[in-house]
Structure 1
């Protein structure tokens, strides 16, 4: 059994209210009677079951599980305090909407401010609705919450000497666009170099990956950047160096000479401008 409270704005405080005439809407009559003394709502008893707090909608709106307390009638409203369960992750209205039949809800409830009581095991539903978390990587660590520096740009490229001028051109272009530019050899924060690589990629807004010479490390780092959802700019001196799995993506071709590097810098700045809007 659980309370369901739907309103049109988010649950961002510890106190709430809803019209008294909306109490027990979309609640079966015999079930509502269990929470009344005659015709008067038993507010203390209503505080017992867990509560699903929702905003109106059937999409990505966030809904939370928690508990109501100190329920009382004030004029035309029912006011209450509430707490949100910290150990239960937020759900979306889409998840609730997809499971509305199991929860005893009808379509109208997603667009109506009301307080209903449902004779359903809410926690059993949640266990089935929440997908298990994927296993954390074993080779390196990523934080549970990302902290992207919107002005951090990182470069993944071979460390060969003939790429030094290429990196210098990229770094100058990035700095002219207001970015901080780093290559992994610029930093040493961990005992493991792969951890430095991953942390640099993870905090970067944009990652530039130079696929020239088919460097295996760059390919690995490109995969990490794509997996972490970073904006990736692919470079190459030869189209043949772009792996088959990446050829459906746009890339910048360049020549490793003075004129070619100047042209590369211009195209990188144009791409950064597009990404940043």
Structure 2
């Protein structure tokens, strides 16, 4: 997701809570103490993770690149979006995506937790 305060509630209210509810540990590069540049740490975290959750709402090129990197590594990717899917690139908009409304991110918690648990084959 973009490191923009407009997306803080998406991470702190929805993603973090949902990942923890699914029994996993959430990580976001800007929240980690890593002592490296953000690009190197982003690669390292994608390599280490079980799955990637990406908010594609702004079709940010860096986020799309990271999603492609995760796909190339064979990592499962959960796509979130709060904007018109037509604004996403073809190769992205045709993948399973969970849509939400800004300001209602709390509604994502259960849906996202169930999706992550199913994706990672975590018993409920």
Instruction: Report the TM-score when normalising by structure 1.
Output: 0.41
Contact 1:211 1:219 in 2 (8 A): yes
Matches within 5 A, 1:90-239: 157-168=1-12, 169-238=14-83, 239=85
Aligned length: 119
Question: Structure 1, residues 141-167: CA drift from partner, whole Å, max 9, x if none?
Answer: xxxxxxxxxxxxxxxx01111111110
List alignment gaps of at least 5 residues for structure 2: none
Partner of 2:89: 243
Kindly report the root-mean-square deviation, in angstroms, between the aligned alpha carbons of the 2 structures.
1.3
Structure in which a larger fraction of residues adopt strand: 1
Task: List structure 1 runs of 4+ shifted beyond 4 angstroms.
Answer: none
List alignment gaps of at least 5 residues for structure 1: 1-156
Contact 2:15 2:109 in 1 (8 A): yes
Following TM superposition, by how much is the alpha carbon of 1:262 offset from its aligned partner in structure 2, in angstroms?
A: 2.1
Following TM superposition, by how much is the alpha carbon of 1:189 offset from its aligned partner in structure 2, in angstroms?
A: 2.6
1:253 maps onto 2:96 in alignment = no
Contact 2:86 2:93 in 1 (8 A): no
Structure in which a larger fraction of residues adopt helix: 2
